[in-house]
Amino acid sequence: MKVLMFGWEFPPHISGGLGTACYGLVKGMVHHKQEVIFVVPKLWGDEEQMADFVNASDISIDYREKKFKSIWKNLTYLEVSSFLVPYLGPEEYQKFTDYAIHDRADVDESIFTTKYEFSGKYGKNLLEEVSRYALTGAQIARDRSDFDIIHAHDWLSFPAGIAAKEISGKPLVAHVHATEFDRSGQSVNKPVYEIERAGMHAADHVCAVSQLTKNIIIDKYGVPAHKISVLHNAVLDASIIKSTYNKKVPEKIVTFLGRITFQKGPEYFVEAAKKVLERDPNVRFVMAGSGDLLNRMIDRVAELRIADKFHFTGFLKGDDVDHMYAISDVYVMPSVSEPFGISPLEAVRHNTPVIISKQSGVAEVLDNAIKVDFWDIDSMADATFALLHYEGISKMFKELGTEELKKLKWEHVAAKLVTIYQKILAEKS
């Protein structure tokens, strides 16, 4: 089978989890001897050559093709708000849009040149790039007729997937890694929502990274349940990471690592920390990361008078991330809404027991973790205290958690995806 896949980023040039997930999935597909044509807006040349990569920036568009006109017409709604950056909190988002309104570049001219240089980032011309990417998708679908099915990852590439389907008549799978409701809570961005919705409805089948995401797709996007399959993420490498990095403080360390935004629920971590410290002052809490709620968290920590035991590291990169996992005694992910959430699995690889919110997709695949509601700070504090003090449970989590990881392989995910493809193709014919 040959799949025409549209992504937005690919390792090593990634800024979020999407690229890593695409990498894992393609790797799994290759393992099962499936062919993948993988399209990204911009190729850097240092990607691992595991698929037939297509650089959208190299594609010239042939405007004699009449169908393109109608595709373009359907895309004009994208211009509503010309600028959008995903994965931002509402406050940060507001700042960016306010700025964008005064700094809006006209899209039309550059769209209708024959070639277009994509940035492939989440920059201020994002919607323009998304529209243009759709035209490119149509062109690729016309040039290459050797594929059986189309697969588009997240809303950024949905318009490209739709266009490719219109041109080729091949079935489309829309893969949802995150929805606008996860990113922005209730203040969703309308154009993005519309694109997501259009993609899911135009698709012959939808893949969701968790049951949680599947439920959102049913409830908020009106897609019938039978059209959606859950396809959990996996880990690229399930081996245990033995770090030589040593902790330098005598206290135990409880860690939050992620963007400090609404979606990640940092405030619940702070409140739980206060409760734990009341019972046991010999613990240090660390909030690693950056985001629009950072200053509010610092204020709250000072107000609670726990700043001598609650530390902020700012954004961590490279080795520091590994060091942080390595010295943590408990890892907490209190996400308010997390389609999947790969970071607790990283913690497990470092032999660190984890507490995850029930509102995360990863909770569906990880049994050896404590699961709490994100808002339930008492349970979160209890669980933290227990993992710090009761050897038995943390030891068990360490042993069993690593066993569980070994089951989360991308080749299993890919195998499941292939059966989904086969079913769709069988229904079509």
Do residues 234 and 244 make contact, with C-beta atoms less than 8 angstroms apart? no
Q: Which is nearer to another protein, 163 or 327 (CB)?
A: 327
- What is the nearest approach in angstroms of another protein to the Cβ of residue 334? 20
- What is the nearest approach in angstroms of another protein to the Cβ of residue 98? 20
Q: Which is nearer to another protein, 107 or 294 (CB)?
A: 294
Q: Which is nearer to another protein, 13 or 323 (CB)?
A: 323
Q: Which is nearer to another protein, 306 or 369 (CB)?
A: 306
- What is the nearest approach in angstroms of another protein to the Cβ of residue 201? 45
CA 272 to CA 101: how far, in whole Å?
Answer: 40
CA 91 to CA 360: how far, in whole Å?
Answer: 23
Q: Which is nearer to another protein, 97 or 290 (CB)?
A: 290
- What is the nearest approach in angstroms of another protein to the Cβ of residue 314? 8
Of 305, 28, 251, nearest in space to 20 by CA? 28
- What is the nearest approach in angstroms of another protein to the Cβ of residue 308? 5
- What is the nearest approach in angstroms of another protein to the Cβ of residue 296? 10
Whether the upstream peptide bond of residue 12 has omega within 30° of 0, thus cis, is yes
Task: Return the ∠ at Cα 217 (arms to 211 and 219), rounded to 5°.
Answer: 100
- What is the nearest approach in angstroms of another protein to the Cβ of residue 244? 14
Sequence-distant (6+) residues with CB within 8 A of 389 are: 280
- What is the nearest approach in angstroms of another protein to the Cβ of residue 311? 5
- What is the nearest approach in angstroms of another protein to the Cβ of residue 258? 16
Residue 230, judged by CB atoms within 10 A of its CB (0-12, 13-18, 19+), counts as middle
- What is the nearest approach in angstroms of another protein to the Cβ of residue 301? 8
Torsional sign, CA 169, 128, 342, 276: negative
Q: Which is nearer to another protein, 45 or 318 (CB)?
A: 318
- What is the nearest approach in angstroms of another protein to the Cβ of residue 9? 29
Q: Which is nearer to another protein, 313 or 402 (CB)?
A: 313
Length of the chain: 429
Q: Which residues here bind another protein, judged by CB under 8 A?
A: 247-250, 284, 286, 294-295, 298-299, 301-303, 305, 307-309, 311-314, 320, 323
Q: Which is nearer to another protein, 45 or 250 (CB)?
A: 250
Q: Which is nearer to another protein, 239 or 282 (CB)?
A: 282
Do residues 288 and 266 make contact, with C-beta atoms less than 8 angstroms apart? no
Q: Which is nearer to another protein, 311 or 358 (CB)?
A: 311
Q: Which is nearer to another protein, 147 or 285 (CB)?
A: 285
